A = this chain, B = another copy of it.
Amino acid sequence: MQQTRLDLARIRAARRVIDPLFLDTPLYRCEAPEPGLGCTVSIKLETANPVRSFKARGTEVVASRLAEKSSRAVVCASAGNLGQALAWSGQGRGLDVTVVASRFATAAKLDRIRALGARLELVDGDHELARERAAAVARYDGIRLVEDSLDIETCEGAATIGLELVDSLPSFDAVLIALGGGALATDVRHVLKACAPQVEVICVQPLGAPAMTHSWRQRRVVTTDSTDTIADGVAGRRPIPAVLDDLLQVADDAVLVKEASIIAGMRLLFDHAGLVVEPSAALGVAAILEDRDRFTGRHVVTIVCGSNVDVDTYRRWVGGTSVHRS
């Protein structure tokens, strides 16, 4: 296997500093939606924890290492889930946490960041502007900047999902992973490539935020001027070169899906699995809906990576009468 920045021994060590609240998350076959999808579906559920996303796996590693070094403060840019997770992990370790976010971010995520005691700074622009501002805050205050997907702790934390996939399920053929910054996809794939190389890892990104997928396909960083997607958790425009390098080493495929498929995926998971998921967490199901033939008869795992939604918006997405009954 070619080298990414990841190392299995370090990932196993990361597991030991993560609060068990975020580990060994449910992984189960979900038969009810299968007739509509044409394949066997298992769900890895990352939402049944205090921050309702997988991001605390990474922030637990970040915060525990900072606490070891007696650091007092940390800043990150976030679309909302990383910020919540860093606030949670920092709160328990006496860290001052600053989160920079777009003022257009999901309100429920911003509310939770504040409620968890973090300082929240809003920028009048998108997530890329928040990243610039967070870097400036870090320089000005002389504090640690956490860069999701770039910082190795965030990658090692996400990679622990891969360890659990390898340990828990007897056999599966493919894993569908939301592709945003790239950490989740790269890091889970890294572990699978080492421990279960036959499993196909397919990264899924919205057509409205395709920068990393275009970069992966062209094998060079491709940026976009804007994004247009409800999947706020993966709406980046400027892939990080080091993360792209890792992704190029390990990803088997990267596909783009339509907004309508993301909504259909959210609705299917609500109707047939009883799960409230945010748009990014429905990307895997969206990919199956758009290319059923590819998955026919296969056993597919989809990582349900977050459930932080504004409830009234969510009701509009999944509301009305059921259209996906099978």
Instruction: Show the binding face of A for B, using Cβ within 8 Å.
Output: 21, 24-26, 28-32, 43, 45, 47-50, 52, 112, 115-116, 270-271, 274-276, 307-309, 311-312, 315, 319-322
Which of B24, B115, B311, B320 has a CB less than 8 Å from the CB of A322? B311
**Secondary structure at chain A's binding surface: helix, strand, loop or mixed?**
loop
Q: Are A319 and B315 in contact (CB under 8 A)?
A: yes
B residues near A307, Cβ cutoff 8 Å? 274
Given contacts A26-B25, A26-B26, A312-B321, contact A31 B115 (CB under 8 A): yes
B residues near A276, Cβ cutoff 8 Å? 270, 274-276
Which of B29, B45, B48 has a CB less than 8 Å from the CB of A28? B48
Q: Are A50 and B26 in contact (CB under 8 A)?
A: no
Minimum C-beta distance from A29 to chain B (A): 5
Could you say how many copies of this chain the assembly holds? 2
- Closest chain B residue, CB of each to CB of A27: B21
CA distance A321 to B52 in the complex (A): 22
B residues near A322, Cβ cutoff 8 Å? 311-312
Q: Are B274 and A308 in contact (CB under 8 A)?
A: yes
CA distance A112 to B115 in the complex (A): 40
Which of B28, B49, B270, B274 has a CB less than 8 Å from the CB of A26? B49
Minimum C-beta distance from A257 to chain B (A): 22
Q: Are A50 and B30 in contact (CB under 8 A)?
A: yes
Given contacts A48-B48, A276-B276, contact A311 B28 (CB under 8 A): no
- Closest chain B residue, CB of each to CB of A315: B319
